[in-house]
């Protein structure tokens, strides 16, 4: 075979490959506008302090404190057991990027970009698997990605763990569809240690989906996920009494102050970079998105007209759950929040918008199984794509851009602001009150695990002390390690 024929065969092979993955390539191309504004040097303003947390996580890794527990610079330099209670998996990829040579600013931006790209691709594969249609896959992916709440999470709040959870929702449901116990257990475990509140909110839908699919092995998966996450969940359960968690559910964080109105849920087209407040005067968009709820409702009507509603039970299940989750954002369900006391830790009822967006976006994919005419499929697809891009792409942009380096956040007054953030959330309650001035390094907060000095009024001298795991943390570490080794060994039997 001569070189010319070989090159022609290679060209044909590449064209076939591109043709096979053209819809996925198009999806990836359509993701770019959601993060393009992150490319310039610097970082945008956000309401959370993930650069600081990544900096503390990096200290843990470099001092071989694995799993990470203690943040030495938190609490104005007195230290707090931040990672003993706060989900830490979303910092893993940022830390990998940093260890590969990226600065902290670019590592945080990389993590947010990964949350956007990963969630869109994950939804693409789930919708394709469920609806058996490439157009459905792109539609669901676009609606999932271009929902206003997604832009709020990334570009306003800067809620990294919650943003990262959007990758895991579709992947977990996909493992149920594929009946893959190994990956179901692993991904559920990752969701728990990424953002435990997202796991709690997602759990009702996940349970019903498992039951609907009659895949009862999934319940074994929950047990495995629980064992894998023992290093995190056991300290949360048994050591929460040692910190001032009350500040995370009272005052501004009382859920009663953060219900949203029907108009906000369905019709809000405003945009802002403010905060959530009592009543309807919130400074940020808290809607599920016009296209996100109109398309599944229109699809429902079309299914009734076509008399295909009985053959699309998955669609109905998703639609019903989507509206149930929206209902939980409204004050008419306050009695449920008060009856189920654990829900106070969710803090903001509008957090359920994220799961509602997931339900509606996935449900919308069935639209292209109802419309059979290729011309109309193409027309509707183009119109919906243009709508998604034109009406919400402008949300994916910064409020304030800081063309700065890491030093801006790690020095001077901004450094003090970073290490003061959320100071009361995990403050040890052993006597030392929350300070107004930074530590001079002589004393640090006492918390179970510090050895080498006796605490006095909640403080210990910083010299000659060492932070070790308590018995409950050691137990959690051992259970998690044995469970991880176990599922790796038994991987073939779990798939």
- Is the bond leading into 470 cis (omega within 30 degrees of zero)? no
Residue pair 159/150 in contact (Cβ under 8 Å)? The answer is no
Average pLDDT per 10 consecutive residues for the chain, totaling 495 residues: 52 56 84 94 93 95 92 93 93 95 96 97 96 92 95 95 97 97 96 96 97 95 97 95 81 87 91 84 90 94 87 94 96 92 91 97 93 80 78 91 93 90 87 88 93 90 91 97 92 75
Residue 439 domain-assigned (yes or no): no
Report pLDDT for 7.
46
Query: What residues pair up with 451 in beta bridges, in sequence order?
Result: 466
Residue 357 domain-assigned (yes or no): yes
Residue 238 domain-assigned (yes or no): yes
* Entry pTM: 0.94
Residue in 99, 118, 222 with CA at minimum distance from that of residue 160: 118
Q: CA-based angle 70:76:78, to the nearest 5?
A: 50
Residue pair 155/395 in contact (Cβ under 8 Å)? The answer is yes
Which tokens is 111 given?
A: 């993590």
Name the domain count of the chain.
Answer: 1
Residue 412 domain-assigned (yes or no): no
Non-local CB neighbours of 45 within 8 Å, separated by 6+ positions: 273, 398, 399, 400, 401, 402
Residue spans of alpha helices (H) in 229-312: 230-239, 262-267, 290-305
Handedness of CA 206, 212, 215, 220 (dihedral sign): positive
Residue spans of alpha helices (H) in 195-312: 196-212, 218-228, 230-239, 262-267, 290-305
Residue 28 domain-assigned (yes or no): no
Residue in 122, 102, 107, 13 with CA at minimum distance from that of residue 53: 107
CA distance 72 to 7: 59
Residue 135 domain-assigned (yes or no): yes
- The domain in which residue 376 lies consists of 44-397+474-494
Report pLDDT for 26.
84
Q: If phi over 0 gives left and psi between -120 and 50 gives alpha, with beta otherwise, what is residue 79?
A: left
Residue 465 domain-assigned (yes or no): no
Residue 339 domain-assigned (yes or no): yes
Report pLDDT for 9.
47
Report pLDDT for 373.
76
Residue with tokens 């295909």: 308
């Amino acid at each position: 075979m001569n070189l010319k024929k070989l090159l022609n065969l290679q060209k044909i092979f590449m064209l076939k490959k591109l043709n096979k993955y053209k819809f996925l390539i198009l999806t990836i191309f359509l993701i770019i506008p959601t993060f393009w504004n992150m490319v310039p040097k610097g970082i945008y303003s956000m309401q959370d302090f993930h650069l600081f947390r990544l900096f503390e996580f990096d200290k843990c890794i470099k001092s071989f404190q694995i799993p990470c527990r203690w943040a030495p610079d938190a609490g104005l330099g007195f230290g707090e057991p931040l990672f003993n209670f706060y989900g830490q998996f979303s910092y893993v990829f940022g830390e990998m990027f940093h260890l590969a040579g990226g600065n902290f600013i670019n590592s945080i931006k990389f993590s947010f970009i990964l949350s956007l790209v990963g969630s869109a691709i994950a939804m693409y594969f789930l919708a394709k698997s469920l609806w058996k249609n490439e157009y459905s896959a792109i539609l669901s992916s676009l609606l999932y990605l271009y929902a206003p709440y997604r832009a709020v999470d990334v570009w306003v709040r800067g809620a990294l763990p919650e943003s990262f959870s959007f990758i895991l929702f579709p992947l977990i449901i996909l493992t149920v569809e594929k009946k893959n116990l190994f990956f179901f257990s692993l991904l559920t475990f990752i969701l728990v240690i990424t953002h435990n509140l997202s796991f709690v909110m997602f759990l009702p839908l996940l349970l019903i989906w498992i039951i609907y699919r009659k895949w009862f092995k999934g319940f074994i998966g929950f047990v495995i996920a629980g064992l894998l996450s023992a290093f995190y969940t056991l300290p949360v359960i048994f050591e929460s009494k040692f910190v001032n968690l009350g500040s995370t559910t009272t005052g501004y964080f009382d859920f009663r102050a953060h219900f949203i109105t029907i108009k906000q849920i369905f019709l809000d087209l405003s945009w802002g970079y403010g905060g959530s407040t009592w009543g309807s005067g919130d400074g940020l968009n808290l809607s599920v998105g016009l296209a996100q709820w109109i398309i599944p409702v229109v699809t429902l009507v079309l299914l009734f007209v076509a008399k295909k509603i009985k053959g699309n039970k998955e669609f109905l299940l998703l639609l019903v759950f989507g509206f149930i989750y929206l209902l939980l954002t409204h004050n008419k369900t306050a009695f449920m929040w008060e009856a189920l006391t654990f829900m106070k830790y969710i803090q903001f009822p509008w957090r359920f918008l994220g799961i509602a967006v997931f339900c509606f976006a996935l449900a919308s994919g069935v639209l292209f199984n109802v419309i059979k005419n290729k011309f109309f499929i193409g027309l509707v697809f183009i119109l919906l794509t243009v709508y998604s891009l034109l009406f919400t792409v402008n949300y994916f942009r910064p409020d304030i851009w800081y063309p700065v380096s890491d030093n801006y956040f790690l020095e001077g007054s901004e450094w003090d602001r970073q290490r003061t953030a959320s100071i009361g959330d995990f403050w040890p309650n052993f006597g030392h009150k929350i300070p107004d001035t930074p530590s001079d390094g002589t004393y640090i907060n006492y918390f179970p695990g510090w050895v080498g000095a006796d605490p006095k009024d909640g403080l210990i001298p910083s010299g000659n002390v060492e932070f070790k795991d308590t018995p409950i943390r050691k137990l959690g570490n051992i259970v998690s390690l044995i469970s991880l080794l176990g599922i790796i060994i038994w991987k073939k039997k779990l798939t």
